[in-house]
Structure 1
């Protein structure tokens, strides 16, 4: 997945708002590529795509919801430093059904786990750049994976808050029970992350 520099204005309006079981997705484009995908509260209203790129993104998210192994092909131009774009490139290579820890990515990129976590938290294109596939040690869901609305914590410190009881290692299950929608306006980063991982075929627990 090509991740390059974008001059997009983060304050720009969304070109589409897509309602999903886990959040409403705010999708912003520059007319040629996706510049931002933001997690909004599930109660946020939908908005029809305003351009061809937003329409393509909506279709591809629909494909992902039908088949979590679907790989996004819509062009992306996220805004970020060269280092953060390197992290996002590495994360984009993680396939559904796989995960990496912050430490594993840090070792590969010759940096610190905290720097990887900060890049995940700054990811402007949530879901499509799959920071939800980056987990803590032992599969803990501490950390976040993209841009969220005001209902979700976003500070750097939030990236490294883990649950009191860490999750066991994440395994893979080919068949998973249907995932229930999350409660509107009660969404937390860990809830989104868990929903997406279960959708992609992960089995939590031993």
Structure 2
């Protein structure tokens, strides 16, 4: 299992990979780095995302979760850069409730790459469990708005 940490505009991030698949992104700095070519590529793609040069990630991922969580996370990856969907919209498409969509988002092991930040409430941004919470979600959405040019 490989592991790399680096600084980003939303705080320190740590990425883990197992068997050449990205398995997690966490906020914070890990102590036992084991760099791999895949982790270096993930780091480069995330840096390109923050610089507005990458709108869709091209990385092999494995996001362990329930069948429902998997379904939600797969759908999240189809939401285009710079756009959002509401929790209730996703619930109508995927099934379940706005709350179950929110719970699946909160359990997302690979935030940013699986863009759970693109799901918002009807009247508010909703929640976000990474970084500084709503402040981080707002930052990610603003970056995408800024760089969302045709």
Distance 1:109 1:136 in 2: 16
Report the number of matched residues. 146
Aligned residue number for residue 151 of structure 1: none
Q: Is 1:194 equivalent to 2:138 in the alignment?
A: yes
Query: Cα 1:98–1:49, aligned 2, differ >3 Å: closer, same or farther?
Result: farther
Distance 1:65 1:46 in 2: 24
Runs of 4 or more consecutive aligned structure 1 residues displaced over 2 Å after TM superposition:
44-49
Please state how far the C-alpha of 1:48 moved relative to its aligned partner: 6.6
Q: Is 1:96 equivalent to 2:40 in the alignment?
A: no
Aligned residue number for residue 36 of structure 1: 24
Aligned residue number for residue 105 of structure 2: 120
* Cα-Cα RMSD: 2.1
Please state how far the C-alpha of 1:18 moved relative to its aligned partner: 1.7
Do the aligned residues in 2 keep the contact of 1:68 with 1:199 (CA within 8 Å)? no
TM-score, normalisation: structure 2: 0.88
Please state how far the C-alpha of 1:95 moved relative to its aligned partner: 1.3
Higher Cα Rg, which structure: 1
Distance 1:102 1:56 in 2: 31
TM-score, normalisation: structure 1: 0.65
Query: Cα 1:69–1:32, aligned 2, differ >3 Å: closer, same or farther?
Result: closer
Do the aligned residues in 2 keep the contact of 1:91 with 1:130 (CA within 8 Å)? yes
Cα-to-partner distance string for 1:137-158 (whole Å, 9 max, x where unaligned): 13x12212x5x4xxxxxxxxxx
Q: Which runs of 5+ in 2 are unaligned?
A: none
Q: Which has the higher helix share?
A: 2
Cα-to-partner distance string for 1:47-77 (whole Å, 9 max, x where unaligned): 8761111111011111111216521001000
Aligned residue number for residue 67 of structure 1: 52
